Chains A and B, each alone.
Chain A
Amino acid sequence: MQHLRSGLRNIKTTRLAAAAFLVFSLVLPILSHSLAYAADLTQSSVRFDRMQTSTATTGTICAKPATVATEADVQVVFPTGYTLGTAANFTVNTTNLAWPTGGTAWPSIATATNVTSQTVTFPSGDLTVGTLYCFNWANTAAVSIKSSASSSNTGTITTRTSVPANIDTASYSTASVTSDQIAVSATVPSTFSFALSASTDALGTLATGSVVTSPTPRTATVSTNAKNGWMVWAKDANTGLNSTSASSTLASTTPGTNSTLVAGTVGYNTGITTTQAGGSGSITVAAPFVGTATGQGGGLDTSLRALASSNGTADTAVMTIKNNVAISVTSAAASDYADTLTIIGAGLF
């Protein structure tokens, strides 16, 4: 009987120990969590005025406390790789430099007292829960952006008591980019060259049996160091070949669309083919003016239409301008069919 009681007691003790262990293991994380971690700040941000890699910068720190306590300082952990100056470099001010909405001056904020590794400690006055406080560090010697670009550089802001014990904390994320402002170099000026090979394009005698194309097609040549490329436009003063003596016009074929002329049917268009010796740009002939096939091209009218463009620099980008014309048996005879083509080239921005 005694053995039985003893056994039961042992079982009870074991169960109690197990239950205690279970409760303890459940409660401990909660306790340890509350002991080790502070509450989250309701709102927080660290804004860097410059985000380019390896660039010294000023910035703004904002935080909204969530816990009632008496703050004595605020610790800001800057992202890994950001270079920090000495504590004396972290001079501060509370000028509202486009702070987030509701931002007010951080009370008793002052020059940092300590910089250890990535952590900077600023003295602080007591903060009121629910108020968004901000301050700026005003010296670019304090922080320099890391040397590599990244979309996610993280750090933390923590308010502390005089003990010191953490009150509220929050993490923040920022980015670093390879270039934020465009440096203008004066040593190599940007240039744009444009050349038309001739000022006339005689088409000769036209016949109904064939589509006539410029016997010696003229060229427009572009060379530029403009990184955004170039564009060439054209327009036709008469929207076709016009004869004053015959009061007749061989009209441009459907301006704005690509067409291929057929012998015996009146038509007039301009086809473009291109070559390029070098440069970073790729030439694109505007769809209406693609002129790879015989008699293929687009009609021109009195509005400037883009003939071709490029998206980068160009070394001797040549556009060959082929004027195609076809006549019918009823086309009025004359020897003065003519028009004027205006061609404009420009470097893009």
Chain B
Amino acid sequence: MVNRKIRVLAVIATVGLASIAGLIAISKSVSAADNTGDFSLQISPSPLVLTLKPGQATSVELKVRNTGSQTEDLKVSPRSFKIDDKESLVFDDVQTPEEAKWITFGSPTFTVAPGEVMTEKVTFAVPKDAGFSYSFALVINRQKNAPSTGSGRQLKGSVALFTLINIDRPGAVRKLDLSQFTSDQSIYEYLPVKFDVKFKNTGNTIIQPSGNVFIQRGSNDATPISTLPVNKANGYILPGVTRTLKSEWSDGFQVAHTVMAVDGTTKQELSWNWNNLSRIPIGRYTAKVVAIYNDGQRDVPIVGEVSFWVIPWKLLLGLLVVMVLVGAGLWTFIRSILHMKKKHMHFRS
């Protein structure tokens, strides 16, 4: 009798526990299926830049941190992008790139709790007959989004990680041309002078140029007035792509600055740098760009020049007015002295 009671109690307990476990599992699966609320991720590194060898598999770690307030069930997948003729990045979150077939993920789908970091192992098994460079994006987004309810918009967030791969193999050509080197105006009243350095990657590998824009009076001056960086942000140029890098000469006496308001709107403000009073830009200048890239053996320089004028006409006009006023004052003063002297002499005679 007692045994029977114990058996019944054991069955009830088992069923109860199973039910609770089932409910937990169901509630968990619901949460996994329908991510709602905010979406907040941090990824590192970004971008992912690699040099790989053909016929070899290389693994890298990608850190994904959930900076949101809820557990996220995520997936990662390669997607295509290209840079068009207008230097715009055209992103395609549907198209899978050709190289996806030799990319594998340690966890193509994964779950990250709030505040946690997931380390995703990405393996690139580069085929022996691989090309010279590849560029694509790894897109991380929710496995499932909550179904739309009622009227309005459903928002789906994704984070993309641009991945640039150079293949270290014979036949790789690193070649960069300077397509254009221009200033935004030919005559300026004050700084900044803005330069566009347009490069075209005519090789088959991804290139990261560097160098300087030298501001000088003549083309062959040994000591520049100012030295500006080319590609300060360490940008990359993909094969066959043209990219315009910007440099700006702004260490003068009068400099216009772009000021951004809290609401995001911008306006120009003129500032006066009294430390540069002795270096008021005036006259004709030559900007000489010496950009370099490494061809695998050595630095290869590319040189271009552009001339421009800086005429601070308002400053000069103000100076002229001051000089005229001082001159007129002096002249009046001298004349009055002469007049008094003449009167004095006349009085004495």
Q: Which residues of A are at the interface with B, using a C-beta cutoff of 8 A?
A: 47-52, 80, 97-98, 149-154, 173, 175, 177-182, 189-204, 206, 218, 220-221, 223-224, 226-229, 231, 233, 235, 241, 273-276, 282-283, 285, 292, 304, 306, 311-312, 321, 323, 334-349
| Cβ of B125 under 8 Å from chain A | no
Please indicate the chain B residues that have their CB under 8 angstroms from the CB of A275 in the complex. 262-264
Q: What is the CA–CA distance of A329 and B295 in the complex, to the nearest angstrom? A: 66
Q: What is the CA–CA distance of A291 and B9 in the complex, to the nearest angstrom? A: 67
With A149-B227, A275-B262 in contact, is A202–B150 under 8 Å at CB? yes
- Pick from B41, B164, B264: contact of A349, CB below 8 A: B164
B163 to chain A: closest residue by CB: A349
Please indicate the chain B residues that have their CB under 8 angstroms from the CB of A233 in the complex. 91
Min distance, Cβ B200 to any Cβ of chain A, angstroms: 17
- Pick from B155, B216, B265: contact of A201, CB below 8 A: B155
Q: What is the CA–CA distance of A154 and B264 in the complex, to the nearest angstrom? A: 48
A334 to chain B: closest residue by CB: B151
| Cβ of B92 under 8 Å from chain A | yes
Please indicate the chain A residues that have their CB under 8 angstroms from the CB of B42 in the complex. 191-194, 223
- Pick from B44, B155, B164, B264: contact of A218, CB below 8 A: B155
Please indicate the chain B residues that have their CB under 8 angstroms from the CB of A338 in the complex. 148, 150-154
Q: Is the pair A195, B299 in contact by a Cβ cutoff of 8 Å?
A: no
With A51-B292, A228-B234 in contact, is A199–B43 under 8 Å at CB? no
Min distance, Cβ B73 to any Cβ of chain A, angstroms: 13
With A337-B151, A342-B93 in contact, is A178–B212 under 8 Å at CB? yes
With A152-B220, A231-B89, A346-B46 in contact, is A50–B233 under 8 Å at CB? no
Q: What is the CA–CA distance of A103 and B314 in the complex, to the nearest angstrom? A: 56
A205 to chain B: closest residue by CB: B151
Q: Is the pair B233, A312 in contact by a Cβ cutoff of 8 Å?
A: yes
How many pairs, one residue from A and one from B, have CB atoms within 8 Å of each other in the complex? Answer: 254
Q: What is the CA–CA distance of A221 and B38 in the complex, to the nearest angstrom? A: 11
Please indicate the chain B residues that have their CB under 8 angstroms from the CB of A241 in the complex. 151, 153
Q: What is the CA–CA distance of A312 and B246 in the complex, to the nearest angstrom? A: 12
Q: Is the pair A195, B39 in contact by a Cβ cutoff of 8 Å?
A: yes
With A153-B222, A344-B139, A344-B160 in contact, is A49–B299 under 8 Å at CB? yes
With A306-B88, A345-B160, A348-B89 in contact, is A227–B155 under 8 Å at CB? no
Q: Is the pair B35, A199 in contact by a Cβ cutoff of 8 Å?
A: yes
| Cβ of B266 under 8 Å from chain A | yes
Q: How many residues of B contact A (CB 8 A)?
A: 79
Q: Is the pair A199, B146 in contact by a Cβ cutoff of 8 Å?
A: yes
Main secondary structure of the interface of B (DSSP, over half): strand
Please indicate the chain B residues that have their CB under 8 angstroms from the CB of A204 in the complex. 151-152
With A190-B46, A192-B161, A306-B88 in contact, is A203–B153 under 8 Å at CB? yes
- 4 A-B pairs besides A150-B222, A200-B149 with CB distance below 8 A are A50-B299, A193-B43, A227-B232, A306-B89
B153 to chain A: closest residue by CB: A201
B160 to chain A: closest residue by CB: A346
Q: Is the pair B297, A198 in contact by a Cβ cutoff of 8 Å?
A: no
With A198-B38, A228-B234, A348-B162 in contact, is A273–B263 under 8 Å at CB? yes
A223 to chain B: closest residue by CB: B42
With A283-B264, A345-B160 in contact, is A340–B294 under 8 Å at CB? no
Q: Is the pair B91, A178 in contact by a Cβ cutoff of 8 Å?
A: no
| Cβ of B8 under 8 Å from chain A | no
Chain B residues 183-235 with CB under 8 Å of chain A are 208, 210-212, 214, 216, 219-224, 227, 229, 232-235
With A51-B299, A194-B157, A346-B162 in contact, is A151–B288 under 8 Å at CB? yes
| Cβ of B128 under 8 Å from chain A | no
Q: What 10 A-B pairs come out closest when comparing CB atoms?
A: A195-B40, A346-B160, A227-B233, A274-B264, A192-B46, A49-B298, A202-B152, A347-B46, A196-B157, A193-B42
